[in-house]
Structure 1
Amino acid sequence: MRSVFVFSLLSFYISYAQRSDFNDINFKKADSVAEIHKGESLRNLPVLTHNLTAPLDTDVEKFRAIYTWISSNIENDYSSYLKISNKRKRLVNDRQAFLEWNSSITPKVFERLLTERKTACTGYAYLVKEMANLAGFNCEIIDGYGRTPTLLLKEDSAPNHSWNTIEINNKWYLCDATWSAGQTILEDGNARFEPDYFDGYFLAEPKLFVKNHYSINSEEIKLKGTQNFTAFIEGPVIYKEAFLAPIIPVSPQKMYIYIKKGDVVTFKLNAPDNFKEEKFQLLINNGGRQKPIQPNTIRNQNKISLIYRFEKIGLHDVHILVDDDLISTYVVKVKKVRQ
């Protein structure tokens, strides 16, 4: 199972593998094993890891049990996230200091994880790595930027997220246990974690993953096709539901689109071959009024084009939906045609 994984001093790119490699695997047994051991102590990780993996036959099922157990048993700690985020902001211009600090806090983060079963993304990624390594996998932590619908980034934003890359059957895959665990709800200035396991970030689609994850380390292994940071933060908003199919927004490549009245915009996406194009629609908000639109749709194998002509001037929030699930959002500014 193990193979040598060496980081070069120079950046290099690989093609990560896709979850479709395991379409013939039923994860119900792995998930049931994780459920049986729900609530078990983290004090003896070798024993917990053995209990989660021993009943399973394939490597991917073993890692699945580890991953779903972590994402279903650990609470996202918003207070720790704020402390780490503030420190990252202070060190944003000193990369070496940031990396040294990031390594130094791991024992503290891990101790709170053991005692309180709470952690920020750093703790999730560390626990995935530790348990996967105990099970005999090569697994690494990647630090960088996570971009969500409620957390848009700027050029001077500090790194804010950590996730993992895992080797299974001599191929490398991507996963994000933090984002699989649930969501933090902010109400009246108070944070409340709402556990809700989400499967889309387990062995996530690489071409979609790169749209809301960006590695900070130039010498670290990167996803083939990764754009520069400016292009990353200027891209459309991607919602987690896009990862289930998966559905990959291809163009326009920028979230903000500037056109003239009467111009046509074509929203291009990649979707599974068996995905029916009539499932797609646009939800357009202009001046506070929201209107569902059935655009002209063209399909060419797994490529879908949604075509719409903008006849009203102003700012339009354009949401792409599939069966009422939000997939991505663009902002279209329509200017009046000068005579």
Structure 2
Amino acid sequence: MEVHTNIPLKNFTTMKLGGPARFMAEARTPEEVKALYENASSKHIPVFVLGGGSNVIARDEGYAGMIIRIRIPGFDVIADDINTTTIKIGAGENWDSVVKRTVDMHLSGIEAMSWIPGTAGAAPVQNVGAYGQEIADTLVSLEAYDAQTKTFVVLQNEACGFAYRDSIFRRDQKGRYIITSITLKLSKSLPQPPFYDALQTYFEQQNIKIFTQETIRDAVIAIRTEKLPDPTVTPNTGSFFKNAIVENWQLTELRQKYPDVTVFDMGNGTSKVPTGWLIEHTGLKGQLLHGMRVHDKNALVLINESATGYADLAAARDQIIGAVRDTFRIQIEQEPLELA
């Protein structure tokens, strides 16, 4: 377990921005997580946990603490019956590799979350989701190191406070828990229509009428490949903004001008409006803002084309947020966490 010093964060985040981390180490077991954290804590050194770096923004000043990169492996079937299979997955496993393994096992529940970058342990943090599925739908529990009590704990699904792209790990308990494994309960049943609109459209265009876990995964990969740049090739964090959650009065106002806007009922008098659509209708889609390109195929995505620092990214972000607010009176939010 080696601890390295003065490591450029731009090499470990997919937006390719960020100054040096004072310390960085990889944890391959829960015990190493505990040792690294408690050693840093005893010296009053702050700690930040990093998975694949695909949903994190680092600042130019870097991080004056310890970065723990989670690399804990594991993929074990811990329960199996006629209808379901329950799998315990190490937090350091590549998420898309996990999805592929479950699809190869003919299991349903996370196949629509194919091709999402990052690690399995990061998935619950923002309640990762795509095309009608989210991690909250299948997560039974997770194991974590509790930095407050300095013990390992098991949190059941209900304790995670899942909401749209949110959880306790981003809110009131941010920084408290270091996730070491997740346990998912997946179905042996075939996927059933109706599917998320983009998937349904793809199936109709391709004349696909038999639906399996494999057809869902293949469709999602095809759609995402067309709409989203590969972060290993083109610097980006995937969707940079959350879809907007609006109240009924805002939706009424929006539909008066744009009656054909697509929305999704979220209950409790709120609806989800695609933020990519909002950005596109400000005229910013495809534009280069402070070295950041608003992706011409998906306005939710910001590509680092020539930005030289965090200030460029922040200026582009704020310009987009302001344009949406001025045009629609809707406030949109950044999705990636900031390393601070």
TM-score by length of 1: 0.29
**Larger gyration radius, structure 1 or structure 2:** 1
TM-score by length of 2: 0.29
